[in-house]
Amino acid sequence: MEEEYEDEEYEYTLPLIGEEFPEIEAQTTEGKVKLPEHFKGKWFVLFSHPADFTPVCTTEFVAFQKRYEDFKKLNCELIGLSIDQVFSHMKWKEWIKDNLGVEIQFPIIADDTGDIAKQLGMLHPSKGKNTVRAVFIVDPKGIIRAILYYPQELGRNMDEILRMVRGLQVADENDVAIPANWPNNEIVKDHVIVPPASDEKEKAERLKEKAEGKIECFDWWLCHKKI
Residue 128 Cα distances to 2, 41, 112, 123, 135, angstroms: 4, 35, 13, 7, 19
In terms of Cβ atoms closer than 10 Å to its own Cβ (0-12, 13-18, 19+), residue 223 is buried
In terms of Cβ atoms closer than 10 Å to its own Cβ (0-12, 13-18, 19+), residue 42 is middle
Neighbour count for residue 44 (Cβ, 10 Å): 24
What 3-state class would DSSP assign to 131?
A: strand
Q: At what angle do helices 86-100 and 55-66 cross, to 10 degrees?
A: 70
> Up-side HSE of residue 185: CA atoms within 13 Å toward CB?
18
The CA dihedral of 27, 20, 44, 29, to the nearest 10 degrees, is 0
Q: In whole angstroms, give the CA distance from residue 42 to residue 79.
A: 13
What 3-state class would DSSP assign to 218?
A: strand
Residue 223 known to be catalytic: no
CB of 83 within 8 A of CB of 130?
A: yes
Candidates 57, 76, 217, 223; catalytic one = 57
* Positions marked active-site: 57
